[in-house]
Structure 1
Amino acid sequence: MRLQGKTVLVTGAASGIGRGIALRLASEGANVVVAVHRLDERSEQVCKQIREAGAQAWPVQGDVAGVGEVERLFREATAAAGSIDALINNAGIEIRATFGEVTEEDYDRVLNVNLKGPFFLSQQFVQHCRQQGRGGKIVNISSVHEDLPFPNFTSYCVSKGGLRMLMRNLAIELAPLGITVNNIAPGAIQTPINKGLQQRPDQLRALLANIPLGRLGEPGDVAGLAAFLCSADADYITGATLVIDGGLLWNYAEQ
């Protein structure tokens, strides 16, 4: 129970990787602020499972794409949970479009959720740590596409590349405060965002041929690393992107 007594705020915690992380944190003793875009049956179920694991759970609703919403979300999180020890910026979206068809609206939506949200939520967390007089941990769920090109998803790649540099800058700037900042870069993970792959067997086979371990990842594969980075075991790790992709990044060839 290496996270016993810790409280972690996880965005996008109702499904996919975020849900897997929230449940893994609870299994290691952490209390969890379940931050979601909307309160619904999924968020209620995650909170129920966290409590069944013996931890506390607080659902908080907000759209991380807007600064005002981010500030309100964090105020509600601290009002409910008190001190927050770690922040996991997991919420993210992607919108498929050729470069010539990308709209300003879609570009803004992807960049606001994937980059602006983590930027200003991290700012709220840092201010909270300063007020508490202690350090903390920030973990961003990035993507192999912070490095790897992904045709027809340019705005997504731009957002994840920006998240890489945000992490690197903050790791240096916040180190004197005792705050570590790291990215996790998943490859192809079985989540709702990749659900369509199951209906396209030819595309799935081509993808699996690029993954040396021969399978898609599971949310639990990412969750274990997130729990580690939130723990004291990772106190001397900062400014790093840790890749979880089954070997995809170094074996990939665009079809």
Structure 2
Amino acid sequence: MTAGPLAPPVRRLLVWRHGRTEWNAHGRFQGQLDPPLDDEGRAQAARTAPHLAAVLHDQDVVLVSSDLQRAVDTAGALAPLLGVPVHVDERLREHGLGSWEGLTRDEVAERHPGQYEDWLAGRPVPGRGGEAQAEVAARALAAVADLPRAATAVLVTHGGTAGRLVEALLGLGLEHKRIFGPLGNCHWSELAFQASGWRLMRHNLYVPAAGQLEGGRRPASDRGSFPGPSATDVPDAPRSGATPEEAPPAPVEDADAAG
């Protein structure tokens, strides 16, 4: 009989993406650049924090944020409601995208057409710079391993890093990438550690604005629970059968530009 996986310092993780920025709204790749939350992003954090605080009431919680300001400010909406400090860990920052950072999808296609075609085809993107997906996953996993002991950790991070972390915790290989849609702005996923390892309990949860779901429909300005593909979803190694349909350019209102 083999032993189960080594128990982590926490048994429950809430992986929470920061609120919206103006760059998110316009489909501009952020990577490790640091535009601030826009008005909607601050409103998202303000309405989500009380919900998370109620979920975590009377629990032993540690709150850890990426060092990028859009994540720190999102975490700052929750910290006083929990009565805990915000710990900052740069290992939770966004996937570095090299020369694509600060550009829109159209600008990437115009300035780096070969790289853009590689991305659409699901191939590695030589010459872009930045980080490989495996590097992002490794540093995020290290951040989890170094958490202080607590019942629950809330990790405030970014779309690309959240995706790579969840995939790594679940042990997903390249053949299982892109099973889960990327987190929308201020959405979160919940994972629990059990005897067999980490399990994804809930994914892409969010708190809608008042009146947002009137008539059963979301307004066009809301990214909703199913944001478009992310630039950081490109595999590090070629996959057989990769097609442009796996990573199409997303429309502006649905663009999940990294961040």
Whether the TM-score (by the shorter chain) exceeds 0.5 is no
TM-score normalised to structure 2 length: 0.36
Relative to the length of structure 1, the TM-score reads: 0.37
Q: Which has the higher contact order (CA 8 A, sep 6+)?
A: 2
Higher helix content, 1 or 2: 1
